[in-house]
Amino acid sequence: MAERSGDGGAWLPERRQGSRPLWIALGAASAAGALAGALLVVAGAATPAEPGRGLGALTSVEVGVALALAASCFFGVAAVALRLGIALPLRQLAAEARFAAEAGAERAIEPGRHRWLAPVPAAVAELAGALASGRRAHAAAIEAATRGAAEQRNRLETILRDLSEGVLVCTLDHRVLLYNRSALSLLRSAGEVGLGRSIFNAVAREPVLHALERILHASEPAGEVAGTCSVVCATADASRLLHGRIALTRGEDGEATGYVLTLADATREVEALAARDRAMRELADGMRRPVANLAAAAETLGAFPGMPEAQRAAFDAVVQREGGALVACLERYDGAARGLGGGHWPLADVLSIDVFRLAARRAAEEGGPEITPIGLPLWLHADSQSLVVALARLATRVAEAVGVDAVDVEATAGDASAYVDIAWTGAPVPSATLDAWLAEPLAGALGAATPGDVLLRHGSAAWSQALGDGRSRLRTPLPMAASPAPRDAPASPALPARPEFYDFDLPAAAVAGGDRLLRRMEFVVFDTEPTTGLKASAGDEIVSIGAVRVVNGRILTGETFSRLVNPGRPIPPGSIRFHGITDAMVADAPPAAVVLPQLRAFCEGAVLVAHNAAFDMTFLRMKEAESGAVFDMPVLDTLLVSAFLHPDIVDHDLDAIAARLGVRIEGRHTALGDAMATAAVFVALVDLLDRRGTTTLDQLLRSSRMAMELRARARQF
């Protein structure tokens, strides 16, 4: 047995070493065991009992026992070998494979450790590898698809949010899948609008069903936009009339999956149309009777000149009374028509500077004059495209007639409307000449028109008048936008006042060119927004700069400088509400070192102006070494100018000064908006200075310095 165990035990260390194939060891062990068993049986049978008997004398029982022993030895060893060599490694491999499957751990399986089972572990490892790389590709694909979907969703959300039309996406059983803000505000009063709810909670059922039927069962797609249909319907509570379109949404197989309904409020248009119809009818009906009576009385009087005096008096009374009735009828109609507004031409809110820029480009293309937009931008309610064409044409005609090659355009706010003025140096345009221009055909304006038609669409007229100073203007009143704030303007928060800064480096001595007249000088009015939105504390940086040129007392609206600046540090979240600029917005913006030289170039030859200028100058000077942009020109401060002009008033906040000077400023939420507002205030201040005898730059710098010293001293008490 010792031998057997020795033989049998021989593979154990080998297994640990893993150096010999399993089957050789197994075979050897089995053979050795069987041989040893057989020998023992043979020896036991021959030696004591019948010593003379050879091998050939072995009984069949002995052989059987020997064989059985050998077999049991073989199976015993084989079982151990199988367990250690195959079952355990297999279990291990299975666990590793499961781990690989669950966790995606590619390296969990090492083929080298399972030699006995080779090439299975290698194959499994390969499989795990393929699985892992498949998973990576899958994950990447999902990420890309998610990103794409998110982008598309963002785009769609933007479109939906900004559309003034209400948009509802519905299933074929009329449940709402998606709606935008406009839809909500259109339908809110009528009924509940919500995801998964029936659209008929808010919109009348029949017109929608009818339109869908027309699309679904139309024999041929009508026109270009197949699968859509216009719809006029009411809200479910019949409070508003809506008009819009329905379009089917289709799945990949082309089957209709639902529909998109776009809606706009038509109540006003429809009511205006109805009112116009009613007014027209009333005019005709109202006139018929007095006209008949008047005509009959006049004819009778003419036919019978010799009628008795008493009879004649009765006829005179009829003429008077019916004349009065006609006048009343006409006035009623006129009042009604006036209330209906300018007509049905679609107008939209548009910023004056956008119209002016386009008009300037158009005039330039047509060989017209150089058009310079001046003043503060104003929101107009206009047909921008027609207005651009008409303005460019009128400016061109003015230039030809007067013999100038440059005109200014400006929008100013009146009481009821905005005035758009073309101004030039020279005489006013004769009324008849202007009328002829207004009657010329205008190529490129919508709805084949003349400049006069364009003005009529806006309920406007045009006239030319002298301004004094040798200048004249052509004025057209236009409707102002109902709400002065543009749609995307961030709600302007109540800004805490910036601390006042004083810069005692302001030149006390006369500067070069200091004898120039303020009214004839060139200024750049600018504003900066620091990261904190408040004060130039340690580590504070600029996030945006806005500037506008002011030349000869005119704000050159078209010549502005507006840049976001990457501050190179995170923007404190708390300050975003002051300037509305986020880290994401400045991520791709250039740093101050790039922007400041651009600003310096914009300011070339000009005197700088800012409100509380020392504050902004701190930033510019701080960056001088880094950017190489040296701002060494004279600097004026509207705060100090105002303090000089009104020394007894404490509040020299920009809004306060503007209010005092009657300057209307809007859009104060960006650096450029603030620069524009400051420019408007500055121009008004220069006017006031002029009247008070401060006319040159030197005088103003001296006065500013005086005001600053007084103010700084006053603050010490």
Partner 1 sequence: MAASVLIVDDEPNIVLSLEFLMRQDGHEVRVARDGDAALAAVAERVPDLVLLDVMMPGRDGYEVCQAIRANPACARTRIVMLTARSREVEREKGLAMGADDYVTKPFSTRALVERVREMLAAGHG
Please, what is the minimum distance in Å from the beta carbon of residue 482 to partner 1?
18
Is position 461 an interface residue for partner 1 (rule: CB under 8 A)? yes
- Contact indicator for 300, 315 with CB cutoff of 8 Å: yes
Q: Find out whether 530 and 618 touch, Cβ atoms under 8 Å.
A: no
- Choose the catalytic residue: 114, 611, 652, 669: 669
330 binds partner 1 (CB under 8 A): yes
- Give yes or no for residue 158 binding partner 1 (CB under 8 A): no
In the complex with partner 1, the residue whose CB is nearer, 114 or 458, is 458
479 belongs to the binding site for partner 1 (CB under 8 A)? no
Is 459 a binding residue for partner 1 by CB under 8 A? The answer is yes
- Identify which of residues 5 and 431 has a Cβ nearer to partner 1 in the complex: 431
Query: What is the distance between the alpha carbons of residues 542 and 531, in angstroms, rounded to a whole number?
Result: 6
In terms of CB distance, is 154 or 320 closer to partner 1?
320
Residue 177, SS3 per DSSP? strand
Closest contact distance (angstroms) between CB of 679 and partner 1 is 27
277, 270 in Cβ contact below 8 A?
Answer: no
Torsion angle defined by CA atoms of residues 646, 652, 658 and 659, in that order, rounded to the nearest 10 degrees: -80
CB atoms inside a 10 Å sphere around CB 274: 10
Kind and range of the H or E run holding 231 = strand 228-234
Tell me the one-letter amino acid at 372: T
> Which pair of tokens denotes residue 496?
């805490």
Instruction: Find, among 549, 550, 545, the residue nearest to 562 by Cα.
Output: 545
List 110, 334, 405, 515, residue binding partner 1 (CB under 8 A): 334
For the bound state, the minimum distance from the C-beta of residue 460 to partner 1, rounded and expressed in Å, comes to 6
Q: Kindly tell me which of 46 and 340 has the beta carbon lying closer to partner 1.
A: 340
Q: Which residues are CB-neighbours of 661 under 8 A, at least 6 positions away?
A: 681, 684, 685, 688
Residue whose structure tokens are 């600053």: 708
We find the least distance from the C-beta atom of residue 329 to partner 1, in angstroms, to be 11
- Residue among 535, 522, 464, 526 nearest 496 (CA): 535
493 is an interface residue for partner 1 by CB under 8 A: no
Of 47, 72, 239, 465, the one binding partner 1 (CB under 8 A) is: 465
Among positions 30, 198, 228, 460, the unique one binding partner 1 when judged by CB under 8 A: 460
In whole angstroms, give the CA distance from residue 445 to residue 383.
10
Query: What are the residues whose beta carbons fall under 8 Å from the beta carbon of 453, sequence distance 6 or more?
Result: 442, 445, 447
Provide the 10 A C-beta neighbour count for residue 204: 17
Residue 338 found at the interface with partner 1 (CB under 8 A):
yes
Shortest approach of partner 1 to residue 415 CB, angstroms? Answer: 10
Q: Residue 142 to residues 149, 151, 264: CA-CA distances in angstroms?
A: 10, 14, 38
Assess contact for 571 and 583: CB atoms under 8 A: yes
Least distance (Å) from partner 1 to the CB of residue 465?
Answer: 6
Quote the DSSP letter at residue 243: E
**316 touches partner 1 by CB under 8 A:** no
Q: Looking at beta carbons only, is 105 or 330 nearer to partner 1?
A: 330
At its nearest, how many Å lie between partner 1 and the CB of residue 459? Answer: 6
The answer to the question of residue 494 lying near partner 1 (CB under 8 A) is no
Binding window for partner 1 (CB under 8 A); candidates: 440-448, 461-469, 482-490, 645-653: 461-469
The answer to whether 669 is a known catalytic residue is yes
Instruction: Pick one of 258, 377, 477, 667: the residue that binds partner 1 (CB under 8 A).
Output: 477
Buried b (16+ CB within 10 A) or exposed e, 37-63: bbebbbeebbeeeeeeeeeeebeeebe
Size of the site for partner 1 (CB under 8 A): 20
Which H/E stretch holds residue 636? strand 635-637
- Beta carbon of residue 362, minimum distance to partner 1 (angstroms, whole number): 25
Task: Please identify, using beta-carbon distances, which residue of 326 and 633 lies nearer to partner 1.
Answer: 326
Tell me: does residue 290 bind partner 1 (CB under 8 A).
no
Question: Residue 174 or 475: which CB sits closer to partner 1?
Answer: 475
Q: How far is CA 231 from CA 164, 205, 237, 245, 248, in A?
A: 17, 12, 17, 5, 13
Among 500, 473, 493, which residue's Cα sits nearest to residue 643?
Answer: 500
- From the list 77-85, 308-316, 458-466, 549-557, the region that binds partner 1 by CB under 8 A is 458-466
With CB under 8 A as the contact rule, which of the stretches 168-176, 326-334, 499-507, 650-658 interacts with partner 1? 326-334
Greatest CA separation for the chain? 190
Choices 64-72, 138-146, 459-467, 490-498 (CB under 8 A): range interacting with partner 1: 459-467
CB of 461 to partner 1, least distance (A): 5
Rounded Cα distance between 352 and 554, Å, is 16
Q: Binders of partner 1 among 418-457, rule CB under 8 A? A: 428, 430-432, 435
What is the nearest approach in angstroms of partner 1 to the Cβ of residue 316? 15
CA 386, distance to chain mean position in Å, is 26
Among residues 126 and 435, whose Cβ is nearest to partner 1?
A: 435
Q: Which residues bind partner 1 (CB under 8 A)?
A: 326-327, 330, 334, 338, 416-417, 428, 430-432, 435, 459-463, 465, 475, 477
Question: Which residues are catalytically annotated?
Answer: 669
